[in-house]
Structure 1
Amino acid sequence: MVLIEDKLIGDEILEAHFVCNIAKCKGGCCEDGDAGAPLEEAELVELENNYDVIAPYMSEIGRNEIELQGKYVHTEEFGEVTPTIDGGLCAYGIKDDNGVIFCAIEQAYNDGKLQWKKPISCHLFPIRVKLPDTDMEMLNYEPREEDHLCNPACQLGEELKVPVYKFLKEPIIRKYGTEFYEALDATAEYLNNKD
């Protein structure tokens, strides 16, 4: 692991390759998981304040789940998360005619209706941020390999030779800032060239 600022970064974030291949995985990470997307405190406010803007982009069943469960729900393991439909698809997820899942929040953002793109936990995937009982955050690379969901992304990343942290440059900067990303990039360059 590498320490940058007060964050422990798993080596695979610098060494492994990954590029989402949505044509193959169809956005399955939005449908099949342990819970909905973990939400930060500020994101709860975004959902409360902007739900009326997001709702038109959602499916009818997704809106119905929000009516039943609320805009977010609490779990013991993950804290506040997005609601899901029958424990599967995120309530904010929408499937197109080809079965590809898109995010209603992101669609509203792409149309210029929101300043918030989507939950940072989604944007950072397959990096997962863990907060152990210390002052440090741990960033780990955790693609969905056990069910082969992320295999196409791992293969495409390998073909294109794109490291995980470079593929996720935008969300890393969004979460931690440009200086952190530049330090991460410099660390990766140093480690890759020191042999």
Structure 2
Amino acid sequence: MIQIGNVVVSFDVLREKFICNLDVCKGACCIEGDAGAPVELEEIEKLEAVLPIIWDELAPEARAVIEKQGVVYTDREGDLVTSIVNNKDCTFTCYDEKGCCYCAIEKAYREGKTDFYKPISCHLYPIRIGNYGLYKAVNYNRWDICKAAVLLGQKENVPVYKFLKEPLIRKFGEDWYAELELVAEEMKKQNLL
């Protein structure tokens, strides 16, 4: 592990390779698992504000869940997460004509309808952020549904931290990311990566 400011970064974030391969996985990370995506407290208001913009994109079942319990709930571990449909799909998940799922919030962002991209945990995946009092931990989350992303990342030789440059800057800032790059380059020179 390395530490930059109050953030501890797993070596796997620097070492492992990853590039999302939506053609293969079809966005399975939005529809698999036993809970919704982690949400930060300040994101709840943003999720609620974007609802009128994306409402018609959402499935009727998703709208019913949101009307009943809201955009988030507290999961078994006590974490705040996006609401889900049928213990599976994120309520913000939609599908294109090829059966590939996409985020209705991200679509609205890309169309210039909102300035909220999507929850930072979604933008950062396969990185998960742990909060430990004064420190945050940046960890690489391995999941078998991302096997195609690992293979593509290995083929293109793109480490997780480079693939996720934009969301890492969104979360921690440009200076923090620049320091992460410097540390990674130094570790490569020392044959540690």
Q: Distance in 2 between matches of 1:85 and 1:48?
A: 17
Task: Please give the secondary structure, in 2, of the residue aligned with 1:185.
Answer: helix
Give the corresponding residue for 2:170.
Answer: 174
Q: Distance in 1 between matches of 2:108 and 2:9?
A: 32
- Tell me the alpha carbon deviations over residues 41-90 of structure 1, each in whole angstroms, 9 at most, x when there is no partner: 11101022221112122222221221122121122415221111111010
Give the corresponding residue for 1:80.
Answer: 80
Give the corresponding residue for 1:143.
Answer: 142
Partner amino acid, structure 2, of 1:18: F
Partners of 1:75 and 1:81 within 8 A in 2:
yes
Give the corresponding residue for 1:122.
Answer: 122
Task: Please give the secondary structure, in 1, of the residue aligned with 2:158.
Answer: coil
User: What TM-score results when the alignment is normalised by the length of structure 2?
Assistant: 0.95
Deviates more, 1:61-70 or 1:1-10: 61-70
Displacement of 1:143: 2.5
Q: Distance in 2 between matches of 1:57 and 1:107?
A: 10
User: What TM-score results when the alignment is normalised by the length of structure 1?
Assistant: 0.94
Determine which of 144, 163, 170 is the counterpart of 2:159. 163
Residues 78, 156 of structure 1: alpha-carbon distance in 2 compared, 3 angstrom cutoff: farther
Partner amino acid, structure 1, of 2:166: E
Q: Which runs of 4+ in 1 moved over 4 A?
A: none
Q: Distance in 2 between matches of 1:95 and 1:58?
A: 9
Displacement of 1:100: 0.8
- The answer to whether 1:11 aligns with 2:14 is no
Partners of 2:124 and 2:168 within 8 A in 1:
yes
Displacement of 1:163: 0.7
Displacement of 1:174: 0.4
Displacement of 1:24: 0.5
Partner amino acid, structure 1, of 2:173: G
Deviates more, 1:118-127 or 1:75-84: 75-84
Give the corresponding residue for 1:27.
Answer: 27
- Tell me the alpha carbon deviations over residues 99-144 of structure 1, each in whole angstroms, 9 at most, x when there is no partner: 2110011111111111010000000000000113x31111110121
Give the corresponding residue for 1:193.
Answer: 189
Percent identity, please: 39
Q: Distance in 2 between matches of 1:98 and 1:116?
A: 26
Give the corresponding residue for 1:55.
Answer: 55
Aligned pair count reads 191
> What is the Cα-based RMSD across aligned positions, in Å?
1.2
Alignment gaps of 5+ in structure 1: none
Residues 39, 155 of structure 1: alpha-carbon distance in 2 compared, 3 angstrom cutoff: same
Task: Please give the secondary structure, in 2, of the residue aligned with 1:41.
Answer: coil
Residues 78, 163 of structure 1: alpha-carbon distance in 2 compared, 3 angstrom cutoff: farther
